[in-house]
Structure 1
Amino acid sequence: MPRTLNTLTLSDAKQMLQAGEAKAANLGIPYNIAVVDAGGALIAFTRQDGALAGSIDLAIGKAKTARLFDKTTEYLAELAQPGAPLFGIEQSNGGNVVIFGGGLPVKYDNQIIGAVGTSAGSVEQDIAVAVAAAEAISPNAKP
């Protein structure tokens, strides 16, 4: 029986980027923001003027990681500490797993439809920008 897959669209991603950029401007930090679809493929990315070049791959990696594991990257970081159940997870998937805050799955009607990843500030600031982006299309987005 065929199943329907709900996913973020380019239009959704643009709204998310705009909201994330606004939050970044409010923080006074130029940001890198990435949005991936339900399959984890990049839909849209923005690098604000002056955003750290080293954070480009981190933002994309956080978004992909959040979708790959359907968990926030902040939560994965907790689970990846020495002695924790997922210690070493960042070495999986070709070493492309990013496990510090700023990546989160995006839900609609309790179904994950994509993810967002942000990078440029502190972990707390990255989370705030990611939440602002997600809330643009998914009210009550929580890390």
Structure 2
Amino acid sequence: MQLAQAQQLVSNAQHAAQREGFHISVAVVDQAGLQVLFARMDNTALGTIDVAIKKARTAALFHTDSAALGSMARAGADLYTLESTNNGMISFGGGLVIRDEQGQVIGGLGVAGATLEADEQLAQEALYG
């Protein structure tokens, strides 16, 4: 994960959020889940900081978008305790896997601060256009 790519993703997410009237936090991590870049828009709830980072880490470490893990991490499901691993994971929308041209995981993107549906939409727009 290159810094320039992370900067572009953050910029894309922030522009989309501003257009939709949301204030968000955005995190980009590398394939090991280590932070490459983080940004919080003005007037964003402080609790979104940790959520955005955990969404990005979840996607990168499990090679799966955070929303896809949701049904598997519910009470009684196979991955019920997933969220308590790796210093905390998130199993709802807004965390996307970042892959290179060969399909290799190079990182994760996390968006938090809008609605759950909008977090996912903003992340998708930031990553895929």
- The TM-score bracket by the shorter chain reads over 0.9
CA contact (8 A) 2:31 2:61 kept: no
* Residue aligning to 1:135: 128
* Residue aligning to 1:80: 73
* Residue aligning to 1:26: 19
Show structure 1 runs of 5+ residues with no match: 1-7, 137-143
* Residue aligning to 1:93: 86
Asked which structure has the greater CA Rg, the reply is 1
**Percent identity of the aligned residues?**
34
Amino acid across the alignment from 1:97: M
Of 115, 118, 122, the residue aligned with 1:122 is: 115
Amino acid across the alignment from 2:93: G
Secondary structure of the residue aligned to 1:87 is coil
Report the CA distance between 1:92 and its aligned residue. Answer: 1.7
Amino acid across the alignment from 1:108: D
Secondary structure of the residue aligned to 1:29 is coil
TM-score, normalization by structure 1 = 0.85
Provide the C-alpha distance between the structure 1 equivalents of 2:76 and 2:70, rounded to a whole number of angstroms.
Answer: 12
Amino acid across the alignment from 2:68: Y
Cα distance per residue 1:48-92 (max 9 Å; x no partner):
111111100000111011111111111111111123221121122
TM-score, normalization by structure 2 = 0.93
Provide the C-alpha distance between the structure 1 equivalents of 2:33 and 2:127, rounded to a whole number of angstroms.
Answer: 15
**Moved runs in structure 1, 4+ residues, more than 6 A?**
none
Show structure 2 runs of 5+ residues with no match: none
Of 56, 63, 77, the residue aligned with 2:56 is: 63
Provide the aligned C-alpha RMSD in A: 1.2
